[in-house]
Amino acid sequence: MNGVAGWVLSLTGGTMLWSLATVSLGRREPWDSPAYWTVWLPCAVLLAALLGFAFPQRPWRWPIAVMLAQLPVMALVSGEIGSLAPLGAILLLFLSIPGIIAAFAAAWLRRRLAAA
């Protein structure tokens, strides 16, 4: 699989995660719910790890794409994002850190398995 598939999967996955969290939690901003932190954010980290395993070159990009793909969904759901967009993007970048760690670990595992 090539990097284009990684981009499609990460962007689609991030969009779907925020959309599903919004619908299942019944909130415009799912991160206001404890379930976002205990269910949906770990799902994003797991997705990042799977993408890091599948596409081990530059694995840091997948969790960033997963998290930033949520920003347009936020704008659509709330009807506006305006001046809060930079703050939302910064928070999403911060929230991508666990995914970056997981993606690097999964990419390392993939390389180890391939070398064995």
By 3-state DSSP, what share of the chain in percent is helix, strand and coil, each rounded to 5? 85, 0, 15
Mean pLDDT of all residues belonging to the chain: 92
Distance (Å, rounded) from C-alpha 55 to C-alpha 6? 7
Q: How confident is the model at residue 27 (pLDDT cuts 50, 70, 90)?
A: confident
Q: What is the pLDDT of residue 6?
A: 95
Residue 1, pLDDT above cutoff 70: no
**Domain boundary assignment for the chain:** 3-115
pLDDT, tens only, 61-80: 999 999 999 988 888 877 76
Entry pTM: 0.91
Instruction: Please give the Cα distance from 88 to 71 (Å, whole number).
Output: 7
Cβ burial of 26 (10 Å; 0-12, 13-18, 19+) is exposed
- pLDDT in the model for residue 87: 86
